A and B are shown apart, each in its own frame.
Chain A
Amino acid sequence: MNPRRKKRLTIIASIFIGLSFVTGLVLYALSQNIDLFYKPSEILNGKIDSGVIPINGQRLRIGGLVVPGSVHRDVNSLKVNFKLTDMKMPIEFKDSDIMVTVQYDGILPDLFREGQGIVANGVLTNDLVIEASEVLAKHDENYMPRELADDAGEKHEKPTYTKKQLAGSN
């Protein structure tokens, strides 16, 4: 390689390495803000690296798995409450898991079901209770044909609403 090319290569390589280093540091510093949501255990114990615990009245997002059997829907309106616990692999639910209750008044996304990942946006009203204004379904990366899912005993019914419930919310 001739000296001029070598010089250009050094300049470009050093600019590139410097920039990647800076970007890496910035992203590391901002990583808590880049995280989309708190996990239920982080609401109680604080973020893993910084220990920041959300205070009551704080607006935040929470993400976790809907605990099976914890979904309670009002028969006369769209009000619903359910418990969330940390996402982990393999998926299993224990009574000792940290659970956060989410209260919501609105239509749930089609993918909402027990055991499903959910991201809710709302206000932390009490130590472990969130008044949500928006509930989003977090789809996992697994895709399966219907027959196979039936064999595996997967639930795949989307939430349905009666006329009474839809009318009761207004």
Chain B
Amino acid sequence: MPPRLNLFSANKAVLALRQPTVPSVASRSIALPLRFRAEQTTPAQKRWNSSKKEPNPDEQMFPTQDQLPDVSEEAAEIDRIMNKEKSCDGQPAHPELEQGTPVEEQILQRDEEAMKHMPKVMQQQLKKTKGTRSFSTSTRSNQPGVEDSLQADASAALLADMIQQVNSQALERNPGLKFDAPEIPTKTMNFRKRYDSLQEQFTKMLMQDGKLARAQNNMSIILDHLRTSSAPNPNPRRPLIGGPPAPQLPLDPVLYLTLIVDSVAPLFRIRQVKGIAGGGTAVQIPHPLNLRQRRRAAIKWIIDASDKRRDAQLAHRVANELVSVAEGRSGVWDRRDGQHKMGISGRANLGLAPRRR
């Protein structure tokens, strides 16, 4: 048996998680100096050539227009030029450019004389680089502490108590839910459908070559047939489920159709699963169906069975088959019984089936 857990794919997933997320952070810090540098260098590189149109006097740049860069920028620029080969692509990636550099780092460390004549404040700071910051420089949290204010205010405490009480009550009422469960709108609440859901499903399954209008026409013939043919004479061994007594059925053809389809709808389908019993034999495992799937199976059986009839029109074949189902004569009942028999015997195999997500 192959291992359940695929280590290959698992590792790939982990890889994806571990991928460093540098670019998202770095791009901001790198991009800014780039733009800045472009602004700086363009005037120097610009060639005035006669073929080009003279720019507006407002747009013109002059060599003296830009003031000299500040100390750190100049240093960076020089550093870039000097160490061009060392930094791989010449990108100035110095974080100092956007943040600015403390004077003591940039100048005073290089210049020992200047260090001596450094202002007093800076000297003091150098001495106590370690330890806690003074209050003035520590960041304050943006929001004032909620707890503090609550403690201070007695009425607020009372309110908090009440909220807690209500919450606990709600928890008792709906265990697992803090609030009432939201009402999920059903499908039919939002818009009105033209046809009954089963009628629509049947019509779509009658459709051939995508010709829906023709299928609808056929469906109306079928319903008219159900409406005009004599009331079914039900077989007591194969009764229709629920509904009004048989003589009343033809007057409500959609209900009649629904009862017929629902009566022969199987409860489950049989899945043939290979490889759990070994020896290459397939194991039959019943798989429950929802309402729409059950109806689909029944409609398919009915349409398949109607193919063997001799009537000239498709609609008449299907309609006659429906009536014979209602009277318990159709082979569709046998098919359903067979399916259920197989499902009952296959119940034992349910434990063998691999669990599906």
A binds B: no
Residues of B within 8 A of A (CB): none
List residues of A whose CB falls within 8 A of some B CB: none
